[in-house]
């Protein structure tokens, strides 16, 4: 099965979870919020592993050039931002802001499990396969048979993926994260209105910006996938300045503040983690929270 078909399954699974949660927690937004925050911790732990330094080096080991460096920098910075997302969410959960001790321990477990899930996902999609990849497939198959409730249905069907396929997979994972944060953003206002605590209020802006970050990351991975051919090689003749210009355009259209988009230096709600990349190449943007 092609990686694109697997990505559709990943998105379908997230949509099914969304529908189930809305039904299961109808009339109980606090419980639904906690359920989504737990998933968010797990998702962030997963992508933190998938985008880490060892994985970046492995995926880009056989490529070189200015476009490759832009790609490596973008992936590095997205990883750093996902790390900050994971740290903030984990702090709110594991430190017990919203949950009793049992719930906090559950959140800690989900963060660990997210890393394990990502390790397996990385092995399952390595282009070269090998013993570890075979082991991952076997372990996933066994787990699916004996503990189907903890193994997504798509996991046993993951193909080996080249760099383009990896970016297509990352795009799908970012879309599921964006959809999750979008639902959290829909739930929060009702909770804020009835809560005596300032904690839900304090989540409104971070959740809005994180949803924008994930949407930006989704579009960035889609764009970077277009820089590669079907064999996973960078397209000949592609220029770094063209790639950077496209990334800036995606940022402004995704997180830009409407009334400032016509300025020579646009203002955005968030830089999507790529602020240092733009600064490195003297591409100017202004971030709302930095300007405040």
Q: Which of 45-49, 115-119, 198-202, 266-270 has the highest mean pLDDT?
A: 266-270
Mean pLDDT over each residue of the chain, to the nearest integer: 78
* Residue 223, pLDDT score: 98
In this predicted structure, the answer to whether residue 30 has a pLDDT above a threshold of 90 is no
Judged by average pLDDT, the poorest of 47-61, 115-129, 169-183 is: 115-129
Long-range contacts of 70-77 (CB under 8 A, 24+ apart): 70/240, 70/243, 70/244, 70/247, 70/277, 71/224, 71/227, 71/243, 73/276, 73/277, 73/280, 74/220, 74/224, 74/247, 74/274, 74/277, 75/51, 76/51, 77/273, 77/274, 77/275, 77/276, 77/277
Residue predicted with more confidence, 122 or 97: 122
Give tens-digit pLDDT for 223-236: 999 999 998 899 99
In this predicted structure, the answer to whether residue 256 has a pLDDT above a threshold of 70 is yes
Give tens-digit pLDDT for 55-80: 677 778 777 899 999 999 999 899 88
* Residue 142, pLDDT score: 44
DSSP string, 35-70: HHHHHHHHHHHHHHHHTSHHHHHHHHTT--SHHHHH
Distances from the Cα of 98 to the Cα of 94, 101, 181, 206, angstroms: 9, 10, 17, 16
What proportion of the chain, given as a percentage, has pLDDT over 70? Answer: 69
pTM: 0.79
* Residue 13, pLDDT score: 80
* Residue 273, pLDDT score: 95
Residue predicted with more confidence, 228 or 2: 228
Residue predicted with more confidence, 55 or 257: 257
Boundaries of every domain in the chain: 3-236, 241-291
Q: Please tell me the distance from the alpha carbon of residue 111 to that of residue 97, in angstroms, as a whole number.
A: 16
């Amino acid at each position: 099965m092609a990686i694109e078909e697997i990505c559709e399954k990943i998105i379908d699974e997230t949509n099914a979870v969304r529908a189930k949660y809305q039904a299961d927690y109808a009339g109980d937004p606090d419980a639904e919020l906690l359920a989504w925050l737990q998933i968010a911790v797990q998702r962030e732990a997963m992508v933190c592993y998938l985008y880490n330094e060892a994985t970046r080096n492995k995926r880009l080991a056989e490529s070189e050039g200015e476009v490759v460096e832009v790609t490596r920098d973008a992936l590095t910075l997205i990883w750093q931002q996902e790390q900050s997302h994971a740290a903030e969410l984990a702090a709110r959960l594991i430190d017990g802001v919203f949950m009793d001790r049992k719930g906090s321990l559950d959140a800690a477990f989900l963060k660990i499990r997210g890393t394990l899930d990502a390790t397996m996902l990385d092995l399952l999609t390595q282009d070269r396969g090998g013993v570890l990849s075979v082991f991952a497939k076997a372990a996933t198959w066994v787990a699916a048979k004996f503990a189907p409730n903890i193994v997504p249905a798509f996991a046993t069907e993951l193909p080996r993926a080249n760099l383009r396929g990896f970016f297509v997979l990352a795009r799908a994972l970012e879309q599921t994260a964006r959809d999750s944060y979008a639902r959290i953003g829909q739930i929060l206002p009702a909770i804020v209105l009835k809560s005596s605590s300032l904690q839900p209020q304090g989540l409104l802006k971070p959740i809005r910006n994180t949803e924008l970050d994930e949407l930006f990351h989704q579009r960035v991975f889609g764009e970077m996938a277009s820089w590669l051919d079907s064999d996973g090689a960078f397209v000949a003749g592609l220029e770094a300045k063209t790639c950077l210009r496209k990334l800036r355009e995606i940022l402004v259209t995704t997180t830009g503040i409407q009334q400032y988009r016509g300025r020579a230096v646009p203002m955005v709600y968030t830089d999507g983690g790529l602020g240092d990349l733009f600064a490195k190449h003297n591409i100017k943007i202004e971030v709302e929270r930095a300007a405040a």
